[in-house]
Structure 1
Amino acid sequence: MSKASSPIKLEGLSKARGKRWDHLELLERIDASGSISAAATAMGMSYKAAWQAVESVNNLSHEPLVIRQPGGSSGGGTSLTEYGRRVVATYRRLEQEWAAVPEAVGRMMDDFDLYYRMNRRFDMQTSARNQFLGTVKAVKIGAVNAEVVVDIGNGAELAAIITNDSVEHLGLEAGSEVHALVKAQWIILAVDTGFKTSARNALAGTVVRCQEGAVNAEVVIELPGGKTIAAIITNESVKTLGLKVGGKATALIKASHIILAVPS
């Protein structure tokens, strides 16, 4: 069966509505205004919700769709990458060509594959604050459990410990595409990694958001390459660690706290 007539791929088109189009409009407005604050205001979204949406699409893409521009005399801003503009244009072209499927799909098959892969990623709904798209680098089978090493891009890796049965059930092997999920409450933050810990994973980056609540705070760290990871810690811990925007921090994650998932 050809790609253009594949019922599995065409099924994704019927789901491309609702929340994903909110993300798409947000990306378009960021591209037009150069400001995530202006884009959020125009859409009636909170600044935090807009940033969470941006962080989500960046983490679920092999390449960043949105980047922060350094400050300066102009105050900096936010913009789409060339890859991000291509993704937005692809979605819009496919929306316009909806009535002409499958003929239109056959004319732009390469971009349809890009569209379909992105669409499937946004179909998954979980309570985990952190979701990373990656590729399985290695699977080490033990007596009961296995260590699965996932490449999440730009030299960053996550090692997860899951059962051998789960490896078989998910069909994991080197080269497989997989989602790594981590709840924000499971992440330990450190500002000095000159000590040994039992955490298998350490992701170092720059604090880009630190929002305190009544008891806890959400701290968002930007990793090299543009992906982000969010942690929930106490306000007291924020003060003890001296965490602030622009400072360096490391997210420590136990391998047993990483959940792996693949599209059904």
Structure 2
Amino acid sequence: AWDAVQALNNLFDEALVTASPGGAAGGVAAVTPRGAKLIDAYRRMEKRLADAWAEVEADGADLWSLGMKTSARNALRGVVESITDGDVSSEVTLKVAEGVTITAVVTRDSVATLGLVVGAHAIALIKSSFIVLAVGSEPLKTSARNQLFGKVQGRTDGAVNSEIIIDLAGGKTLAATLTKDSAETLELKPGDPVIALIKAPHVILAVE
């Protein structure tokens, strides 16, 4: 902790904190007038940023999504449309575009921790390898909770796997990874209608 205090003081023209190590009994630290002035300035700046952020969010810009980093290939932002609670888990349906909804199954504790309620914003994170593709445009009888309909936008083949980019409604896209053999068996090419099958437990939800 004292190293951090020293590093902080080194960044400014005057000391922000005076400190004296105290060994096992602990030390004493005091904020200097320069430090108090900086804290006050920071809190005022923090309030102004919060006010500006709230104003931007009210306009629907949702800039916070730009800073999110995740290893999941797919991140789709939407609005919670419904929540169905079970004894342990909850089924959360997210509307990501007109005609496109994604259902996730998460624990009830997660719903509470994330503050999920109907009308709240959330992001569905889906790994590309969790997506199973089927050719066609008609609903299938399957245990997968999510069936997202779209068309192949592009296909990139590697030595073993292929990545398929799918155009969904509302300008949304989805990336799926499958073996190259599977892509060739399905004869996937741009413009082909496909169905992305995703199990609800494979969808991770995130919030700001």
Q: Give the structure with the larger strand fraction.
A: 2
1:208 paired with 2:208, answer no
1:235 paired with 2:180, answer yes
Measured at CA, do residues 206 and 9 of structure 1 come closer, stay the same or move farther in structure 2, by a change above 3 Å?
farther
In the alignment, residue 97 of structure 2 is paired with which amino acid? G
Please report how far the alpha carbon of residue 196 of structure 1 lies from its aligned counterpart in structure 2 after TM superposition: 1.3
User: Is the 8 Å Cα contact of residues 9 and 116 (structure 1) preserved in structure 2?
Assistant: no
| Corresponding residue number in structure 1 for 2:141 | 196
**In 2, distance between residues paired with 1:167 and 1:111?**
26
User: Is the 8 Å Cα contact of residues 185 and 232 (structure 1) preserved in structure 2?
Assistant: yes
**In 2, distance between residues paired with 1:134 and 1:262?**
10
**In 2, distance between residues paired with 1:145 and 1:125?**
26
In the alignment, residue 165 of structure 2 is paired with which amino acid? V
Q: Note the 1:160-179 alignment, pairs <5 A.
A: 160-179=104-123
| Corresponding residue number in structure 2 for 1:130 | 74
Using the size of structure 1 for normalisation, the TM-score is 0.57
Please report how far the alpha carbon of residue 209 of structure 1 lies from its aligned counterpart in structure 2 after TM superposition: 0.8
1:117 paired with 2:70, answer no
Query: Which entry has the higher C-alpha Rg, 1 or 2?
Result: 2
| Corresponding residue number in structure 1 for 2:102 | 158
**In 2, distance between residues paired with 1:148 and 1:170?**
12
Q: Note the 1:63-78 alignment, pairs <5 A.
A: none
**In 2, distance between residues paired with 1:10 and 1:197?**
48
Please report how far the alpha carbon of residue 194 of structure 1 lies from its aligned counterpart in structure 2 after TM superposition: 5.6
Measured at CA, do residues 9 and 154 of structure 1 come closer, stay the same or move farther in structure 2, by a change above 3 Å?
farther
Using the size of structure 2 for normalisation, the TM-score is 0.72
**In 1, distance between residues paired with 2:139 and 2:180?**
23
Q: How many residues align?
A: 163
| Corresponding residue number in structure 1 for 2:125 | 181
Larger RCO of the pair (alpha carbons < 8 Å, separation 6+) = 2
1:7 paired with 2:46, answer yes
What percentage of aligned pairs have identical amino acids?
42
User: Is the 8 Å Cα contact of residues 134 and 196 (structure 2) preserved in structure 1?
Assistant: yes
**In 1, distance between residues paired with 2:92 and 2:160?**
35
**In 2, distance between residues paired with 1:122 and 1:8?**
21
**In 2, distance between residues paired with 1:222 and 1:116?**
23
Please report how far the alpha carbon of residue 6 of structure 1 lies from its aligned counterpart in structure 2 after TM superposition: 7.9
In the alignment, residue 197 of structure 1 is paired with which amino acid? T
1:244 paired with 2:186, answer no
Measured at CA, do residues 143 and 203 of structure 1 come closer, stay the same or move farther in structure 2, by a change above 3 Å?
same
| Corresponding residue number in structure 1 for 2:202 | 257
Measured at CA, do residues 261 and 6 of structure 1 come closer, stay the same or move farther in structure 2, by a change above 3 Å?
farther
